[in-house]
Amino acid sequence: MDLTVAALPLRGMILLPGALRAVPIGRPTSLAAVEHHLNTQAELVAVAQLDADIDDPTQAGLAEVGVSCRISRATRLPDGGLQVLMEGIQRVTVRGPIRLQDDMTVVDVQPMAEASDDPVEVRATADEVTGLYEQLLTESGMGEQDRKLLVPDPSDPDRLADQLNGQLDMPWEERLALMAEVSPKARLLGVADHVARALARHRVHAEIGAKVQAAMDKSQREYQLREQLKAIRQELGDTAGLDAEADAFQERIDASGMPDEVRQEAEREVERLRRMHVDGAEYSMVRTWLEAICDLPWTEATLDTTSLGRAQNVLDEDHHGLESVKERILEYLAVRKLKPDSQGPILCFVGPPGVGKTSLGRSIARALGRNFGRIALGGVKDETEIRGHRRTYIGALPGRITRALIRAGTCNPVLVLDELDKVGSDVRGDPASALLEVLDPSQNSAFVDHYLDVPVDLTQVLFIGTANIIDSIPHPLLDRLEIIHIPGYTEEDKVAIARNFLLPRIAEDHGLTGKEVAVTTTAVQRVIQDYTREAGVRELNRQLSKLHRKVARKLVEGHDKRVRITDKGLPRYLGPPRYFSELAERVDQPGVVTGLAWTATGGDILFIEATRMQGKGGLKLTGSLGEVMKESAEAAMSWLRSHALQYGIPSESFDALFHLHVPAGAIPKDGPSAGVTMVTALASISTGRAVRANVAMTGEITLRGKVLPVGGIKEKVLAARRAGVEHVILPHHNKNDLVDVPEVLRQDLTFHYVETVPEVLKIALAPA
């Protein structure tokens, strides 16, 4: 007769009679079955699930045989599951599929049918299997005491078969098939087959191991013979060329001036090289290590040129503007002149792409008379890129710092760590953590590259970092850097850079001279206004290069002998204008406001549009806005509703649905500085008063209507001026930030400093 009992379906495992097993329980139905067993001591059956990938036990196929079990210990896990210790009791036959009953899994079972084997034959088979298994353990090298613990007692053949089933290494399906056998003799024979195969595999492995050992002995014998041959040749005086390479390395070590600690390690490796055969496995590894250690410039150094006048000339020759940056560099050089061994801060230039951060590092090297090196860190995620690979790995190399020193050829170069903000991390380590030691003057006197495994002094190296933003630089690394912000260029700066730097170099690169091509200043201005939109000058360089390519073709084809490019003729070379004045896109209607934003590529203007429509009330936000920007919009709406009567807005107006949208919806946007822009847009659409087209604004707001300061003022002012804005509304506390804005920009703009939202609306909204 079938008996319905609680069931525990096991995925990827089997519980055998007499065995103890720790099992994690996570499925709710299985947890209910276990708790029912613990509370009532009712029978519980563990049965293997044939398909371990099926999560729902009622849909999974089950083995034909299960094992009744008891739970001796249950531990609650942090995720709500259980870790139970189960003991198998006896096999039972599973009848029918598993199903749910009272929120737990149940199954129908009946006792296992009894076998009709001859007891004498079964006992003989058990003795044979026991002896075979003991032979396997003996040949595996197991001691007598351990064998006594592992070899089962043959007096209980049924238990013997189950124990060996659990101890032997066999596939899961075969283990399950053996457990389903009713006959103890059949199960013993199946186990005997696996023991015999395991014994055969072990003997094959032992034979192969013996052959490998013999081969190793042969290699050792060959080594001894080579040493004897070497001694014989030395006695005969025939040693020419044997130690030539080792002697060459010894000479380089003597001339390198490396520290005593490093010298001792290098000389040990040279002696190892002398004892190795050229075809040996480690010969090339030792030789490569010696090449690296000898190539390092331990004492080679350039003499610093600390003339501030020369440094000023070099910086002015290479870069236009950037006066505050040049001033900080000259201060650094002045300190170096007064105290040559000073450990100054690590400079880090932060600014949008194309403003000359990397080239500033090259200019500093030229001003100091030092060699220059660049280490690209963008996308680096492996710590070994900085510290190097261990020599135990095939193809190991020194890290980027060591390789940069070798390429520079001196121990005091200027090394630019480019794109510090693009360093990542993964399971292979965090390169930024490795840079902490490199950029700390108190620690980098004994920097250890994993490949060299000897200390290298980096105190004489002048490290300079570059980044577009500082938010993604880890704080401990940022703490070691002195941040120097490099803003975007004004239009006047770009014209000067194009006239003094870009055009002469581009003409030379294209094989042209001033007699063959001339680009007017008005043409350069139009290229900047209509064909580029950037904080730096990279796109300007591309467009001017495109102009010269067109001119070069015309000259080669013989159409012209001299080409003069004016602003009116630009479309023939560059095509129609790509950019237009943002303010020209403004429509003189309520709800459209010009905001100022900061981006990683410099400042930009940002239009915010508001409209009102029939609906159930509320505020809808679109344009890929971040959480901070959404909160600013909600604060703006709350302030406007609380001051509606002050601006003549009927309370029933807020029963409509308000919609705020920031164009370029595919570009994610976030930050608090759009608060004043949003409240102005909502006030404009609610009052029907348009916003002045020549006004742009930035600032954060509070529910009390206070206007709080924001960052990136210089970049935002540059964007406003580039867009043709005449009036800029700024938070009152940002007034001091205008010190960094060039005077020529401040003359073209009218600034309004506000402390409250009503002041913003008074300036921004046109009369009704």
Residue (of 271, 251, 267, 249) closest to 259 by Cα position = 267
Amino acid identity for residue 686 in this structure: S
DSSP string over 103-161: TEEEEEEEEPPPP---HHHHHHHHHHHHHHHHHHHHHTT--HHHHHHHSPPTT-HHHHH
Residue 305 burial class via C-beta count within 10 angstroms: exposed 0-12, middle 13-18, buried 19 and up: middle
Residue (of 380, 390, 533) closest to 452 by Cα position = 390
Are 469 and 598 spatial neighbours (Cβ–Cβ below 8 Å)?
Answer: no
Decide: helix, strand or coil at residue 513.
coil
Decide: helix, strand or coil at residue 665.
coil
Which residue stretches of 283-370 are H helix?
Answer: 283-295, 308-318, 323-338, 357-368
For residue 258, what are its two tokens?
């490396």
Residue located via tokens 């990542």: 424
Active-site choice (30, 256, 673, 686): 673
Annotated catalytic residue 624: no
Fill in the DSSP letter of residue 740. Answer: G
For residue 393, what are its two tokens?
């790995």
Are 706 and 682 spatial neighbours (Cβ–Cβ below 8 Å)?
Answer: no
Q: How far is CA 735 from CA 217, 489, 579, 727, 759, in A?
A: 83, 21, 31, 14, 16
What is the distance between the alpha carbons of residues 562 and 517, in angstroms, rounded to a whole number?
6
For residue 382, what are its two tokens?
């492996």
Annotated catalytic residue 716: yes
Residue 596 has φ and ψ, to the nearest 5°, of -115, 135
Residue located via tokens 């040129």: 305
Residue 617 has φ and ψ, to the nearest 5°, of 90, 165
Number of residues that make up the chain: 768
CA torsion 144→149→152→154, rounded to 10°?
60
Q: Tell me the catalytic residues.
A: 673, 716
